[in-house]
Structure 1
Amino acid sequence: MTIAIIGAGIGGLVTALSLHRAGFDDVRVYERVRELRPLGVGINLLPHAVRELTELGLRDDVEAIAAAPHRLSYYNRHGQPIWSEPRGTAAGYRWPQLSVHRGELQLALVEAVRERLGAETIRLGHRLTGLDTTDERARAVFETSDGSVSADADLVIGADGIHSAVRALRYPDEGAPRWNGLTLWRGTAVVPAFLDGTTMIMAGDDQLKFVAYPLRREADGSLTVNFIAEQRSDGSRAETVDWNRQVQIAPIAELFGAWRFDWLDVPAVIASARELLEYPMVDRDPLPRWTFGCSTLLGDAAHAMYPNGSNGASQAILDARTLAHALATAGDFAEGLHRYEEARRPATADLLALTRQQGPERVMVLAHERAPEGFADITDVIPAAELQEIADGYKRAAGFHPEALNTRASLDARLGQGS
């Protein structure tokens, strides 16, 4: 059985590793870029994703390049605490939460794929231009530096991101991703340690927000942090917002000029950035169908969603593991694809809807709506039970509530269903 994966991002690479572990040996990964470089900034791998990487034998490799936040804390724009909770093993999970540079993680996965599946598994410089499928066979057509080439496969998996070529071939009239009016600026900086040095912080509301979390502790005790600055606009910049566009740092730092808390100087963090990249906050509407004949979608190609809740990469990893398990334990590929889509499409649609409502970050929105000038005690503004339910509700929807995750059956096909 030949399986072709379109896209060598995190989702595509974990899919290749998962399929190989499940017993599928003829797997190929096609990537449009000619060179894989460690691009991007930090991402968070939540415990449900780290569980899957652990079962793939990758945890040590990822932990070597990652930091493990022990707490997540929300604040208003005045630096007052709204909600705080332990994360990872400190919250009772059997697996940690890990913060890692996206590009470094991707290259670690590339190395694992080449080592386990073979050096020629990843084929660079292949841009998908056509896909013909039946219930039993598929032919993918690629544009390369040597011209057009085709590849036959028993299954094609579209893991090629929010601008997925596979998705566009299935839904040619869908159009561009939807922008919600928020612009994000992402960067990394070396800053003095704040709080306990292992806390991920989110401050602000739905108009202006700042996020920071450690990626590495330096020898002098300072922290290399990943940060996100976010502002809502009136929508007039929708046509000019680009992906990965480098922008001047000073104007963004000025937006947060008053955000000097006694525990963190936000404008100083932004001003310390090595570079600042601009992104629009976009997503796509849920699809009525992922699978067409012997092809399906995975990760952002299937369910691109806002980063509220830090769950994009984690959901792609869950997709990959669910798909490999379904294909390995079903009677045939058609049944496996049905099981995969039945398990993942409704769940990700529900999660996408929650991210449009701010996900767990809704606590900051409510605090601003009910007490824009601040508060003496957050429970006078948002009852403790409401805060807890927002946090727990998102964990349940995203599949990483501690009790449920710790007791859920493994997705490792080698261990068998229910193990």
Structure 2
Amino acid sequence: MTVLVAGAGIGGLTAALSLHAAGIDAVVAESAREIRPLGLGINLLPHAVRELTELGLGDRLAALGVATAEIVYCGPSGREFFTEPRGVAQGYRWPQYSVHRGELQSMLLDAVRERLGADAVRTGRRLLGFEETDAAVRVRLLDRESGTVEERCVDALVGADGLHSAVRAQLHPNGGPLLWSGVRMWRGMAEAGPFLTGRSMLIVRDGDAELVAYPVGRNRLNWVCLVRVCEPRPLTESADWNRAGRLTDVLPYYEGWKPHGVDVPALLAASGTILEYPMADRDPLPFWGTGRVTLLGDAAHPMYPVGANGASQAVVDARVLAYELAKADGIPAGLAAYEDARREATAAVVLASRTMYAAGRRNRRDLARITGTYRQATGSDAAVLNGRPSLTIPRTAPQG
């Protein structure tokens, strides 16, 4: 069988690699004409690192990222509220990595082309729509270079096409707006020397302002500024993750912040690119797909970034998708099993991320309980992950 994956982001590329490893043919259609290493820093939690390691990418990932050792919660002057070990130091068999999103995507893209072939990722192909039958899915793809529309018949379609997913829009035409937390986010990256252990993440809070900062390798420090500007409400503006932000809008909230030697105003001012967007998510869906069509990653379950779980959940989605398809009696049964395994699990992460952010803002003295509750609610406890069987199975593929 052949699975068409719409979207060559982290989730879509990991899906292609996972399907290939399970003996299932996959092709990726990406709307962008060129895949460039865009974006800023993200975190991969141990449950995602485990899956990429089992795909044979552990050494590449270790060379690419910084293995986070701890999170330090503190105030603008550096007064600490709570410190929590991360990754291996927290008891996991796999580390947590801080990486540049674009560099991670490029690593995955290289691996897909090496293993599946140079034509496995087809850029400049925008998905216009699909029609599903009992036996196949007919998809329509716009070739953005020539303007022609290609029709292709595949055995299954996976919408890994992000927050503004065309696959989701057709499956859920009345899905409603994004839900804005009332928090505006600015993100950037600048050259900066190490602080604390050199593998520390800072979460700095004061009133309605918060800063998250962590190294992503090559003397680069990634930062995220979060400022509550209103009460939660449906989002009426465009959610463009690549919208340019202005230093003058964010800088006033962080004057005088110097936690653990990090001069925050200087860090922000030294950043070549600043991105701005609202921190938003969606309520969990009652179902993801139908028959031979499903969703993956942000297309299925956009969430707040406060748990550093967005990319990690997409990676796990991809591995479970391939696992369930490879052992199922038919594609619809495999996709149904995938949804059964992941829909409630990711819904728990969406809701737990909301709860953790709200609780963390209200209570700085009970952060150990709040973060521990989050791990339990999201199924990411170290003992659970360490003891779970592998999602790697022999290379066999179902029929039909």
> Normalised by the size of structure 2, how large is the TM-score?
0.93
Deviation at 1:225, TM superposition (A): 0.8
CA distance in 2, matches of 1:261, 1:9: 34
The answer to whether the 8 Å contact 2:26/2:120 transfers is yes
The answer to whether the 8 Å contact 2:356/2:371 transfers is no
CA distance in 2, matches of 1:6, 1:45: 22
CA distance in 1, matches of 2:208, 2:281: 18
Q: Which moved more, 1:205-214 or 1:307-316?
A: 205-214
The aligned counterpart of 2:82 is 83
1:226 to 222, 227, 234: 222
* Alpha-carbon spacing, 1:33–1:85, altered in 2? closer, same or farther (3 Å): same
Amino acid at match of 1:366: N
Matches for 1:155-170 after TM superposition, within 5 Å: 155-170=156-171
Matches for 1:5-154 after TM superposition, within 5 Å: 5-24=5-24, 26-144=25-143, 145-146=145-146, 147-154=148-155
* Alpha-carbon spacing, 1:398–1:412, altered in 2? closer, same or farther (3 Å): same
Matches for 1:285-324 after TM superposition, within 5 Å: 285-324=283-322
The aligned counterpart of 2:204 is 203
The answer to whether the 8 Å contact 1:250/1:271 transfers is no
The answer to whether the 8 Å contact 2:168/2:300 transfers is yes
Structure 1 counterpart SS, 2:315: helix
The aligned counterpart of 2:371 is 391
Residues 344-365 of structure 1: CA deviation (Å, up to 9, x unaligned): 0001111111111235x83343
* Alpha-carbon spacing, 1:152–1:363, altered in 2? closer, same or farther (3 Å): same
RMSD of the TM alignment (CA)?
A: 2.0
The answer to whether the 8 Å contact 1:71/1:85 transfers is yes
CA distance in 2, matches of 1:73, 1:364: 15
Q: Where does structure 1 lack aligned partners over 5 or more consecutive residues?
A: 218-222, 368-381
Amino acid at match of 2:295: L
Amino acid at match of 1:13: L
The aligned counterpart of 1:278 is 276
Deviation at 1:183, TM superposition (A): 1.1
How high is the sequence identity, in percent, across the aligned residues?
Answer: 47
Deviation at 1:240, TM superposition (A): 7.0
CA distance in 2, matches of 1:294, 1:77: 51
The aligned counterpart of 1:243 is 241
Deviation at 1:79, TM superposition (A): 3.2
Q: Where does structure 2 lack aligned partners over 5 or more consecutive residues?
A: none
The aligned counterpart of 1:365 is 362
Q: Which moved more, 1:186-195 or 1:252-261?
A: 252-261
Amino acid at match of 1:291: G
* Alpha-carbon spacing, 1:143–1:390, altered in 2? closer, same or farther (3 Å): same
The answer to whether the 8 Å contact 1:184/1:229 transfers is yes
Deviation at 1:77, TM superposition (A): 4.5
CA distance in 1, matches of 2:361, 2:76: 9
CA distance in 1, matches of 2:119, 2:386: 37
Amino acid at match of 1:256: Y
Residues 80-115 of structure 1: CA deviation (Å, up to 9, x unaligned): 212211111111211111111000111111110011
Structure 2 counterpart SS, 1:303: coil
Structure 2 counterpart SS, 1:174: coil
Structure 1 counterpart SS, 2:261: coil
CA distance in 2, matches of 1:187, 1:114: 30
CA distance in 2, matches of 1:104, 1:261: 28
CA distance in 2, matches of 1:174, 1:290: 11
Deviation at 1:253, TM superposition (A): 2.1
Matches for 1:405-416 after TM superposition, within 5 Å: 405-414=385-394
Structure 1 counterpart SS, 2:259: coil
The answer to whether the 8 Å contact 1:162/1:177 transfers is no
Amino acid at match of 2:3: I
The aligned counterpart of 1:186 is 187
Deviation at 1:143, TM superposition (A): 1.4
Structure 1 counterpart SS, 2:202: strand
The answer to whether the 8 Å contact 2:291/2:336 transfers is no
The answer to whether the 8 Å contact 2:297/2:317 transfers is yes
The aligned counterpart of 2:332 is 334
Residues 194-237 of structure 1: CA deviation (Å, up to 9, x unaligned): 112110111116721100001115xxxxx311100111113799
CA distance in 2, matches of 1:242, 1:4: 25
The answer to whether the 8 Å contact 1:131/1:140 transfers is yes
Residues 165-196 of structure 1: CA deviation (Å, up to 9, x unaligned): 00001111224422222111111011232112
Structure 1 counterpart SS, 2:138: strand
The aligned counterpart of 1:371 is none
